[in-house]
Amino acid sequence: MTKKAFQDNPLDTPVQFIKGVGPRLATVFASRDIRTIRDLLYFFPRKYEDRSKLALVKDLVEGSSASLKLTVHQAYMRPLRGRFSKLLEVKAFDQDKQWISLKWFRTYKGFEQKFEPGIKIIATGAVKVFGSIREMVHPDIQFDLEEELHVGRIVPIYTEIDGIPTKTLRKILDTALSLALPSIKEELPVPALRKHGLPGIAHAIREVHFPPVIPGGQTTQGEEAFADFKSPAHQRLIYEEFFKFEWHILSKRLNLEKEKGHPLDSARLKASLQAHLKALPFTLTRGQTEALEAIGGDLCRPHPMNRLLQGDVGAGKTAVAFLSALGVMDQGFQAALMAPTEILAEQHYMNLKRLYGEQVPVKLLVGKTTTTERRVIQELLDTGGAALLIGTHALIEDPVKFRNLGLVIIDEQHRFGVDQRRKLREKSVIQPHTLVMTATPIPRTLALTAYGDLEVSVIRERPPGRTPIKTRLIRPAEHRKMIEVITHELNSGRQAYFIFPLVNDSEEESFKHLKSAVSAAETLANEVFPQFRVGLLHGQLSPSEKAAVMERFRKNEVQILVSTTVVEVGVDVPNATIMVIEHPERFGLSQLHQLRGRIGRGQYASTCFLKTDRPEHIPTPERLEVMCETEDGFRIAEADLELRGPGEFLGTRQSGALPFKIASLVRDQDWLIKARDDVMQILKADPSLKHPENRPFKAYLETSGKLESAHLKTS
Ligand code: ADP
Ligand code: MG
């Protein structure tokens, strides 16, 4: 190791200068983005193994894991026939003179010579019992009993890095800690830590890697806390991650609020909303009214709105979006509404036409829009007068330019990436207001993190006059009964969806047993429901074919729509009251909930059948039970978050952008709220971090914090 190897700050020293690392291991570490000692210290254990208690040979049971303190009697190599050429066997005994045999089928040169007769070792591994014989195969051996890293304590287990044995990793970490721990600076405001009784950073990092050895071996309490990531050291690091994250995201929101927008006139907005409300064939629900009021408030403020409108499928978000657009247009601005599919864009377009007829200059821009029509659209926008353009991503792909785009609305926003949304906003010369909508209810913790930079409105209730959707799990034996129920329903004039996970039958082993939309459509049309007309919708159809099928279903020219999940988003056919979902196990909870939202949209009672192949005696998977129990999208979302983690919710929005290494949005919700409250308080009391106790955090923001903040892709 050369002197120059150490940077001014040991934390910035490349890992290869740690004793025992070298260029080869450094390359391996680099493949895991571990380059400096700092990276290494923040490579936290995945779990822990309690080796604080030493076992006795007589107490060992088959299959258990144990640590034993042993005296070596003898070690010998035995030639073997077959796959392994040699076997190393070590005979040893414990304090009660109980024998055990340790075996290795693969060893390195000279390993057997370490087992000198009479020396003491600690062996850790899984136990095998054959009658009176006990053995361990490939146990972990500690020779130097002075060395305390690997045994006699709670030891850290790291995510495996190819080519670096756990013990080596532990040693490297131990060295790294002794080199750099004193250089770690406290960055968080000390009063906040004190308030929650959290330890300082150096202490936390040390303990999270090497939980303290408590004299007398009584570590029961500590042991569980570490296993559950609930030790003070863990809590401190979790709090820190949330604190930094919330600071980045909340200060971004504050900055956005400083940007100049173009406020609407509040009195005029009220008047025009009132007029448009009168023209609606229904009155708004309380949730819709509140959302509209919040949006109205935003539109009249001097900086751009950035609001997320959450509401279950069928909650009536579209009406709120239309009214907002009309309000903006009445004051001379243009508006754009982007939907993820052509079906949806067309549906929005037709709904608006139906509601407001020719009063509103509304245009549709989708993939198949003709060049002539595109020219007409551009001419309309060029006049600079009010206009609403509804479309798909064609809106951003087309060179169409707005003159004074005042409001951007994004429907089913999780279907779009951050960049796509920004592109649409950039079509405007002025800074437009933005309203993003989602029908995927987002658990509170996620809303606070992934969407922490947005204001949030929630429409919880659904429009009145809807009957609840019954959801039932259908086992093979109940299949016939289900068909009877559906036939009855279709005979009374209603319509049905049949949803399949695949388009076509698949030969692939893991898909072979699955029914597909294409073959099921045939069977349903010819054998099961010959008296009704069956339509087929899936992602391999062209956009115009899809639109044609949907149109026929909407007009009740086909009674049964067989489909894959393309029907998931936003489709509105109030006369459809039945949904059969085949192989519901294949879908996520939120997806099932979205699918189910296609029914229960009119005044008729609706039923969703989750048709499983599992026979009666196999219990219902927990997830499907949740579906049968509740229609509350937020409850389902919470369950989904717990079962599958946050990735599923974020979609293309900042996938992988949640930067948590140790914090979990499910397990550590409380800490998220605490950190958020603390950050808000500091942002209010000392926004430029002038107070001495906040200065270390300011220093962080000016160094590594800058990069971390830039990496968060939001809005
Ligand atoms: P979302 O986009 O939230 O899934 P939509 O806006 O498509 O829901 O609304 C679903 C249906 O409910 C539409 O047919 C719409 O016309 C109707 N609707 C919306 N708001 C109300 C209301 N307040 N009362 C009655 N019907 C409503
Ligand atoms: Mg919708």
Q: Identify whether 170 is part of a domain.
A: no
| 503 and 388 both lie in a single domain | no
Ligand 1 in contact with 554 (CB < 6 A)?
no
Residue 189 has pLDDT above 90, yes or no: yes
pLDDT at site 148: 61
pLDDT of residue 508: 73
Tell me which of 431, 459, 487 is where a domain ends: 459
Closest atom of ligand 1 to 313 CA is 4
* Ligand number, closest to the Cα atom of 602: 1
Cα distance between residue 661 and residue 241, in whole Å: 8
Q: Rounded to the nearest whole angstrom, what is the distance from the C-alpha of residue 396 to the centroid of ligand 1?
A: 27
**Same-domain status, 454 and 476:** no
In this prediction, residues 107-128 reach a mean pLDDT of 87
CB-ligand 1 contact for 715 (6 Å cutoff): no
The answer to whether the beta carbons of residues 49 and 73 sit under 8 Å apart is: no
Domain endpoint, select from 630, 659, 683: 630
Nearest ligand (C-alpha, residue 351): 1
CA distance 679 to 481: 57
Shared domain check, 419 and 344: yes
285 Cβ closer than 6 Å to some ligand 1 atom: yes
Q: Are 638 and 629 in contact (CB under 8 A)?
A: no
Q: Domain boundary residue among 151, 172, 200?
A: 151
Note the pLDDT of residue 214: 61
Ligand nearest to the CA of 350: 1
User: How many whole angstroms from 389 Cα to the centroid of ligand 2?
Assistant: 17
Query: Are 377 and 452 found together in one domain?
Result: yes
Instruction: Answer whether residue 220 shows pLDDT above 70.
Output: no
For a pocket test of ligand 1, which of 277, 278, 280, 282 has the largest count of ligand atoms closer than 8 A to its C-beta? 282
Q: Using alpha carbons only, what angle is made at residue 490 by residues 522 and 468, rounded to the nearest 5 degrees?
A: 115
Asked whether residue 501 is domain-assigned, the answer is yes
pLDDT surpassing 90 at residue 299: yes
337 lines ligand 1 (CB under 6 A): no
> Do 496 and 612 share a domain, yes or no?
yes
Pairing of strands 120-130, 65-79: antiparallel
Residue with tokens 């009784």: 197
Task: Tell me, in angstroms, the distance from the centre of ligand 1 to residue 581's CA.
Answer: 24
**Neighbour tally for 178: CB within 10 Å:** 10
Exposure b/e, 385-415, CB count within 10 A at least 16 = b: ebbbbbbbbbbbebebebbbbbbbbbbbbbb
Using alpha carbons, select from 87, 149, 162 the residue that is nearest to residue 122: 149
Instruction: Indicate if 426 and 508 belong to the same structural domain.
Output: no
Closest residue by Cα to atom 10, ligand 1, is 314
Find out whether the beta carbon of 284 lies less than 6 Å from any atom of ligand 1: yes
Mean pLDDT over the full length of the chain: 86
Q: Whose CA is nearest to atom 18 of ligand 1?
A: 316
Is there a single domain that holds both residue 399 and residue 418? yes
Instruction: Please tell me the distance from the alpha carbon of residue 204 to that of residue 21, in angstroms, as a whole number.
Output: 24
Q: Do 535 and 561 have their domain in common? A: yes
689 located within any domain: no
Residue 319 makes CB contacts below 8 A (sequence gap 6+) with: 280, 284, 288
d(CA 183, CA 11): 7
For residue 288 and ligand 1, the question of a CB distance below 6 A is answered with yes
Count other C-beta atoms under 10 Å from residue 426's C-beta: 12
Q: Whose CA is nearest to atom 17 of ligand 1?
A: 316
| pLDDT higher than 80, residue 383 | yes
Any idea which ligand is nearest the CA of 323?
A: 1
Distance CA 155, CA 150 (A): 6
User: Would residue 18 count as lying in a domain?
Assistant: no
The verdict on the CB of residue 318 being under 6 Å from ligand 1 is: yes
Judge whether 359 lies within some domain: yes
Q: How confident is the model at residue 715 (pLDDT cuts 50, 70, 90)?
A: very low
pLDDT by residue (tens digit) across 632-677?
Answer: 888 888 888 877 776 656 553 444 456 788 988 878 988 998 999 9
CA of 551 to the centre of ligand 1 (A): 19
Report how far ligand 2's centroid is from the alpha carbon of 106 (Å). Answer: 62
Question: Domain for residue 661, yes or no?
Answer: no
Instruction: Choose between 570 and 344: higher pLDDT.
Output: 344
Question: Which pLDDT score is estimated for 349?
Answer: 94
Which of 539-548, 588-597, 644-653 comes out lowest in average pLDDT?
644-653
Are 331 and 398 in the same domain?
yes
Expressed in angstroms and rounded, the spacing between residue 300 Cα and the centre of ligand 1 is 25
Going from the Cα of 288 to the center of ligand 1, the distance in angstroms, rounded, reads: 10
CATH of the domain at 113: 2.40.50.140
* 412 found inside a domain: yes
Separation of CA 472 and ligand 2 centre (Å): 25
CA-nearest residue, atom 22 of ligand 1: 463
CATH code where residue 404 lies: 3.40.50.300
**By residue range, what is the domain housing residue 508?**
469-630
Q: What is the number of the ligand 1 atom nearest to the C-alpha of 411?
A: 2
338, 391 in Cβ contact below 8 A?
yes
Say if CB 138 and CB 98 are below 8 A apart.
Answer: no
Residue 639: inside a domain: no
Q: What is the mean pLDDT of residues 126-144?
A: 87
DSSP designation for 131: T
Residues 403, 518 within the same domain: no
CA 583 to chain centre: 23
Residue 338: closest CA among 261, 441, 413: 413
Q: Are both 82 and 114 inside the same structural domain?
A: yes
Is any ligand 1 atom within 6 A of the Cβ of residue 439? yes
Domain count, the chain: 3
Instruction: Tell me, in angstroms, the distance from the centre of ligand 1 to residue 546's CA.
Output: 23
For range 528-553, the mean pLDDT: 91
Could you tell me how far CA 614 lies from the centroid of its own chain? 29
* Predicted confidence (pLDDT) per residue in 81-107, tens digit: 766 678 899 999 998 899 999 999 887
Residue 476 and residue 436 in one domain: no
Q: For residue 3, what pLDDT is reported? A: 45
| Angle between helical axes of 543-554 and 342-356 (0-180°, round to 10) | 50
CA of 539 to the centre of ligand 1 (A): 26
* Mean pLDDT to the nearest integer, 598-609: 90
